Amino acid sequence: MFFLKKKEIPLNEVFDVEFVDIHSHLLPGIDDGAKDMDHSIALIEKMISYGITKFITTPHVLGDVYPNSTALIQEKAEEVRTELKKRGIEGISFRAAAEYMMDEQFVERLKQKDLLTLKDNKILVEMSYFNAPYNLFDILFEIQLQGYKPVLAHPERYNFYHRDFQMYYKLKKAGCLFQLNLLSLTEQYGKGVQKTAQQLLKENLYDFVGTDTHHNNHLKLLQKIGDKKTVKQIEHLIKNNASFQ
Protein backbone atom coordinates (compact mmCIF):
# COMPACT_ATOMS: atom_id res chain seq x y z
CA MET A 1 0.00 0.00 0.00
CA PHE A 2 1.30 3.42 -0.93
CA PHE A 3 0.69 6.58 1.11
CA LEU A 4 0.71 9.96 -0.55
CA LYS A 5 2.95 12.47 1.17
CA LYS A 6 1.04 15.45 2.54
CA LYS A 7 1.41 18.24 0.00
CA GLU A 8 3.30 21.19 1.43
CA ILE A 9 2.90 24.74 0.19
CA PRO A 10 6.00 26.98 0.35
CA LEU A 11 5.52 29.70 2.95
CA ASN A 12 6.24 32.41 0.39
CA GLU A 13 2.98 31.30 -1.23
CA VAL A 14 1.12 31.24 2.09
CA PHE A 15 2.00 34.80 3.08
CA ASP A 16 0.85 37.23 0.40
CA VAL A 17 2.59 40.56 -0.20
CA GLU A 18 0.02 42.42 1.89
CA PHE A 19 0.53 40.27 4.99
CA VAL A 20 1.74 42.05 8.13
CA ASP A 21 3.20 39.96 10.97
CA ILE A 22 1.82 41.66 14.08
CA HIS A 23 3.54 39.53 16.74
CA SER A 24 7.27 38.85 17.00
CA HIS A 25 10.27 39.46 19.21
CA LEU A 26 12.89 40.80 16.83
CA LEU A 27 14.41 43.74 18.69
CA PRO A 28 17.91 42.93 19.99
CA GLY A 29 18.54 42.22 23.64
CA ILE A 30 15.42 43.58 25.33
CA ASP A 31 13.34 40.46 25.96
CA ASP A 32 13.42 36.70 25.37
CA GLY A 33 13.61 37.11 21.59
CA ALA A 34 16.58 38.19 19.45
CA LYS A 35 19.76 38.21 21.53
CA ASP A 36 21.71 40.79 19.56
CA MET A 37 21.64 42.72 16.28
CA ASP A 38 23.08 39.88 14.21
CA HIS A 39 20.37 37.58 15.55
CA SER A 40 17.69 40.19 14.75
CA ILE A 41 18.86 40.53 11.17
CA ALA A 42 19.19 36.75 10.68
CA LEU A 43 15.60 36.21 11.86
CA ILE A 44 14.29 38.99 9.64
CA GLU A 45 16.15 37.64 6.61
CA LYS A 46 14.71 34.16 7.17
CA MET A 47 11.21 35.61 7.47
CA ILE A 48 11.74 37.56 4.25
CA SER A 49 12.56 34.24 2.55
CA TYR A 50 9.13 33.06 3.74
CA GLY A 51 7.50 36.00 1.98
CA ILE A 52 7.03 38.16 5.11
CA THR A 53 8.12 41.70 4.32
CA LYS A 54 5.96 43.76 6.69
CA PHE A 55 6.75 43.62 10.40
CA ILE A 56 5.22 45.13 13.51
CA THR A 57 7.51 43.60 16.11
CA THR A 58 6.21 43.40 19.66
CA PRO A 59 8.74 43.11 22.52
CA HIS A 60 7.41 42.11 25.90
CA VAL A 61 6.48 44.79 28.39
CA LEU A 62 6.24 42.74 31.55
CA GLY A 63 6.59 44.21 35.02
CA ASP A 64 10.13 44.16 36.38
CA VAL A 65 11.14 41.27 34.08
CA TYR A 66 11.00 43.27 30.85
CA PRO A 67 10.28 46.88 31.90
CA ASN A 68 10.71 48.18 28.37
CA SER A 69 9.78 51.83 27.97
CA THR A 70 8.13 53.26 24.87
CA ALA A 71 11.28 55.30 24.21
CA LEU A 72 13.60 52.27 24.44
CA ILE A 73 11.42 50.19 22.10
CA GLN A 74 11.31 52.97 19.51
CA GLU A 75 15.07 53.50 19.83
CA LYS A 76 15.78 49.78 19.26
CA ALA A 77 13.42 49.68 16.27
CA GLU A 78 15.29 52.60 14.71
CA GLU A 79 18.60 50.80 15.29
CA VAL A 80 17.25 47.75 13.42
CA ARG A 81 15.99 49.89 10.53
CA THR A 82 19.40 51.56 10.30
CA GLU A 83 21.16 48.19 10.28
CA LEU A 84 18.82 46.80 7.61
CA LYS A 85 19.60 49.78 5.41
CA LYS A 86 23.32 49.44 6.10
CA ARG A 87 23.21 45.80 4.97
CA GLY A 88 21.25 46.64 1.83
CA ILE A 89 18.09 44.84 2.93
CA GLU A 90 15.37 46.85 1.24
CA GLY A 91 11.71 46.59 0.29
CA ILE A 92 10.47 45.81 3.78
CA SER A 93 8.44 47.69 6.38
CA PHE A 94 9.66 47.41 9.97
CA ARG A 95 8.22 49.13 13.01
CA ALA A 96 7.51 48.32 16.63
CA ALA A 97 4.58 48.12 19.01
CA ALA A 98 4.63 45.95 22.14
CA GLU A 99 3.08 42.92 23.80
CA TYR A 100 1.71 44.17 27.11
CA MET A 101 1.21 41.91 30.08
CA MET A 102 -2.06 42.95 31.74
CA ASP A 103 -0.58 43.64 35.17
CA GLU A 104 -0.50 46.56 37.61
CA GLN A 105 2.23 48.38 35.67
CA PHE A 106 0.15 48.05 32.51
CA VAL A 107 -2.83 49.67 34.21
CA GLU A 108 -0.62 52.64 35.13
CA ARG A 109 0.64 52.94 31.53
CA LEU A 110 -2.94 52.75 30.33
CA LYS A 111 -3.96 55.67 32.56
CA GLN A 112 -1.09 57.70 31.06
CA LYS A 113 -1.89 56.47 27.53
CA ASP A 114 1.77 55.50 27.25
CA LEU A 115 1.16 52.61 24.85
CA LEU A 116 2.44 51.60 21.43
CA THR A 117 -0.42 50.49 19.19
CA LEU A 118 -0.32 47.94 16.40
CA LYS A 119 -2.30 50.41 14.33
CA ASP A 120 -4.85 53.07 15.20
CA ASN A 121 -6.20 52.07 18.63
CA LYS A 122 -5.37 48.34 18.65
CA ILE A 123 -2.97 47.11 21.34
CA LEU A 124 -1.52 43.62 21.77
CA VAL A 125 -2.08 42.27 25.27
CA GLU A 126 -1.42 39.00 27.07
CA MET A 127 -1.85 37.43 30.48
CA SER A 128 0.02 34.88 32.57
CA TYR A 129 -0.07 31.27 31.40
CA PHE A 130 -0.81 30.25 35.00
CA ASN A 131 -3.97 32.25 35.60
CA ALA A 132 -5.92 35.26 34.41
CA PRO A 133 -5.76 38.54 36.36
CA TYR A 134 -8.44 38.54 39.07
CA ASN A 135 -9.72 41.82 37.61
CA LEU A 136 -9.36 40.81 33.94
CA PHE A 137 -12.73 42.10 32.80
CA ASP A 138 -12.23 45.38 34.65
CA ILE A 139 -8.93 45.82 32.78
CA LEU A 140 -10.56 45.01 29.44
CA PHE A 141 -13.29 47.54 30.19
CA GLU A 142 -10.70 50.19 31.14
CA ILE A 143 -8.71 49.54 27.95
CA GLN A 144 -11.77 50.37 25.89
CA LEU A 145 -12.78 53.25 28.14
CA GLN A 146 -9.38 54.81 27.36
CA GLY A 147 -10.10 54.48 23.63
CA TYR A 148 -8.10 51.33 22.84
CA LYS A 149 -9.10 47.98 21.39
CA PRO A 150 -7.49 44.88 22.98
CA VAL A 151 -6.00 42.22 20.71
CA LEU A 152 -5.44 39.19 22.92
CA ALA A 153 -2.27 37.33 21.99
CA HIS A 154 -2.45 33.54 21.63
CA PRO A 155 -5.71 32.84 23.52
CA GLU A 156 -5.24 29.15 22.76
CA ARG A 157 -2.19 29.05 25.05
CA TYR A 158 -4.09 29.89 28.24
CA ASN A 159 -4.48 26.33 29.51
CA PHE A 160 -6.86 27.36 32.29
CA TYR A 161 -9.52 28.05 29.65
CA HIS A 162 -9.18 24.71 27.85
CA ARG A 163 -11.84 23.11 30.03
CA ASP A 164 -13.99 26.21 30.14
CA PHE A 165 -14.40 27.04 26.46
CA GLN A 166 -17.30 29.42 27.12
CA MET A 167 -14.77 31.85 28.58
CA TYR A 168 -13.55 32.50 25.04
CA TYR A 169 -17.02 33.67 24.08
CA LYS A 170 -17.11 35.81 27.22
CA LEU A 171 -13.79 37.42 26.24
CA LYS A 172 -15.07 38.13 22.74
CA LYS A 173 -18.24 39.65 24.19
CA ALA A 174 -16.04 41.82 26.44
CA GLY A 175 -14.46 43.34 23.32
CA CYS A 176 -11.34 41.23 22.74
CA LEU A 177 -10.02 40.52 19.30
CA PHE A 178 -8.11 37.22 19.11
CA GLN A 179 -4.66 36.65 17.57
CA LEU A 180 -3.70 33.06 16.75
CA ASN A 181 -0.08 32.03 17.15
CA LEU A 182 0.63 30.18 13.92
CA LEU A 183 2.97 27.82 15.79
CA SER A 184 0.00 26.72 17.91
CA LEU A 185 -1.11 24.75 14.85
CA THR A 186 2.06 22.65 15.27
CA GLU A 187 3.29 20.64 18.26
CA GLN A 188 5.32 23.62 19.55
CA TYR A 189 3.17 24.26 22.64
CA GLY A 190 1.71 20.77 23.11
CA LYS A 191 -1.37 18.84 22.03
CA GLY A 192 -3.77 20.71 24.31
CA VAL A 193 -2.90 24.06 22.75
CA GLN A 194 -3.02 22.56 19.25
CA LYS A 195 -6.49 21.11 19.89
CA THR A 196 -7.81 24.37 21.37
CA ALA A 197 -6.44 26.36 18.43
CA GLN A 198 -8.29 24.04 16.06
CA GLN A 199 -11.50 24.46 18.06
CA LEU A 200 -11.19 28.26 18.07
CA LEU A 201 -10.65 28.16 14.31
CA LYS A 202 -13.70 25.94 13.88
CA GLU A 203 -15.79 28.35 15.95
CA ASN A 204 -14.46 31.26 13.85
CA LEU A 205 -13.29 33.17 16.94
CA TYR A 206 -9.93 34.36 15.62
CA ASP A 207 -9.41 37.76 14.01
CA PHE A 208 -5.70 37.82 13.18
CA VAL A 209 -2.55 35.68 13.16
CA GLY A 210 1.05 36.23 14.22
CA THR A 211 4.23 34.19 14.10
CA ASP A 212 5.39 35.11 17.64
CA THR A 213 8.92 34.50 16.38
CA HIS A 214 11.58 34.44 19.10
CA HIS A 215 14.36 32.33 17.59
CA ASN A 216 15.49 30.13 14.71
CA ASN A 217 13.71 26.99 15.93
CA HIS A 218 10.40 28.81 15.72
CA LEU A 219 11.04 29.68 12.09
CA LYS A 220 12.10 26.14 11.26
CA LEU A 221 8.92 24.74 12.80
CA LEU A 222 6.77 27.39 11.10
CA GLN A 223 7.26 25.56 7.80
CA LYS A 224 4.91 22.87 9.11
CA ILE A 225 1.88 25.14 8.66
CA GLY A 226 2.37 24.98 4.90
CA ASP A 227 0.05 22.07 4.24
CA LYS A 228 -3.06 22.49 2.13
CA LYS A 229 -5.59 21.88 4.92
CA THR A 230 -3.99 24.33 7.36
CA VAL A 231 -3.53 27.04 4.73
CA LYS A 232 -7.23 26.82 3.85
CA GLN A 233 -8.15 27.20 7.54
CA ILE A 234 -6.12 30.39 8.02
CA GLU A 235 -6.19 32.11 4.63
CA HIS A 236 -8.96 34.53 5.71
CA LEU A 237 -6.92 35.49 8.79
CA ILE A 238 -3.79 36.04 6.67
CA LYS A 239 -5.88 38.47 4.63
CA ASN A 240 -7.19 40.19 7.77
CA ASN A 241 -3.63 41.02 8.79
CA ALA A 242 -3.29 43.27 5.73
CA SER A 243 -5.42 45.81 7.63
CA PHE A 244 -2.34 46.68 9.73
CA GLN A 245 -0.46 48.23 6.81
| CA dihedral (190, 196, 202, 204) positive or negative | negative
Domain that holds residue 62: 16-244
CB count within 10 Å of CB 215 equals 15
- Is residue 10 domain-resident? no
Bridge partners (DSSP) of residue 56 are 95
CA angle 96–98–104, rounded 5-degree value = 155
pLDDT at 1: 39
Q: Where are the alpha helices (DSSP H) in the chain?
A: 11-14, 37-49, 70-86, 104-112, 136-145, 166-173, 191-202, 216-222, 228-240
In the chain, the amino acid numbered 45 is E
CB count within 10 Å of CB 119 equals 14
- Is residue 178 domain-resident? yes
pLDDT at 4: 41
Q: How many domains does the chain have?
A: 1
Burial of 85 (0-12, 13-18, 19+ CB in 10 A): exposed
pLDDT at 239: 97
Return averaged pLDDT per consecutive 10 residues of the chain, 245 residues in all.
60 96 98 98 98 98 96 98 98 98 96 97 97 97 98 98 97 98 96 98 98 97 94 97 98
Say if pTM beats, i.e. exceeds, 0.85: yes
Q: For the domain that residue 26 is a member of, what is the CATH number? A: 3.20.20.140
pLDDT at 8: 83
